[in-house]
C-alpha cells in the first residue's frame, strides 16, 4: 500500500450547519521508499466545517494520534479556509496553511502560506 492506499475509519457528527469529522488510519508498511512518512502523515486528522448562509468556514488539523513524545515536536499542520459564496456555483476563497505535508512530495518540509482564489461548487 502506498500513502494513498489505506483503510480509513471516520467518525462524523453533524448538527445544523456544523460538522465534525475525525479520521483514523492504521499504518500498514508496504513501500519503504519514504520510511519516515508516517512520522509526518500521522495516523489521522480532524476537520470542522461550518456553513451559514453564504459563509463557509473550515478548519483541518493533520497528524493526530501520533506518538509526539518520540519526536519532541509536532509534525502536523493546520489549514484554515473561508469561502464567501457568490452564487450556487462560485465562491471567493481564502486559505491559510501552516505545518508539514502541504504536498506529498514535500511531506517533510515546513510550509507557511496564504492563498486567495475562486472555489467552484462552494
The CATH number that applies at residue 114 is: 2.40.230.10
CA angle 74, 2, 78 (to 5 degrees): 30
Q: Is the residue at 48 inside a domain?
A: yes
pLDDT digits (tens, 9 = 90+) for 89-113: 999 999 999 998 887 778 888 899 9
Question: Smallest Cα–Cα separation from 103: which of 73, 70, 77, 82?
Answer: 77
Residue 9: phi and psi, rounded to 5, are -110, 130
Percentage of the chain beyond pLDDT 90 is: 50
Rg (Cα) of the chain, in Å, rounded?
16
Does the residue 13 lie in any domain?
yes
pLDDT in tens, 50-91: 999 999 999 999 887 776 666 677 788 999 999 999 998 999
Q: Enter the pTM of the model.
A: 0.83
Q: Which domain range does residue 38 map to? A: 9-120
Number of domains in the chain: 1
Task: Supply 122's cell numbers.
Answer: 462552494
Distance CA 13, CA 40 (A): 26
Amino acid at each position: 500500500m502506498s500513502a494513498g492506499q489505506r483503510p480509513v475509519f471516520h467518525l462524523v457528527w453533524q448538527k445544523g450547519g456544523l460538522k465534525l469529522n475525525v479520521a483514523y488510519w492504521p499504518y500498514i508498511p508496504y513501500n519503504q521508499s519514504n520510511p519516515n512518512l508516517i512520522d509526518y502523515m500521522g495516523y489521522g486528522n480532524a476537520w470542522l466545517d461550518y456553513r451559514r448562509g453564504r459563509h463557509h468556514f473550515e478548519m483541518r488539523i493533520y497528524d493526530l494520534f501520533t506518538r509526539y513524545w518520540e519526536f519532541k515536536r509536532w509534525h502536523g499542520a493546520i489549514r484554515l479556509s473561508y469561502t464567501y459564496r457568490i452564487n450556487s456555483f462560485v465562491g471567493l476563497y481564502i486559505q491559510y496553511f501552516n505545518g508539514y505535508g502541504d504536498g506529498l512530495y514535500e511531506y517533510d518540509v515546513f510550509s507557511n502560506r496564504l492563498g486567495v482564489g475562486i472555489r467552484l461548487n462552494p
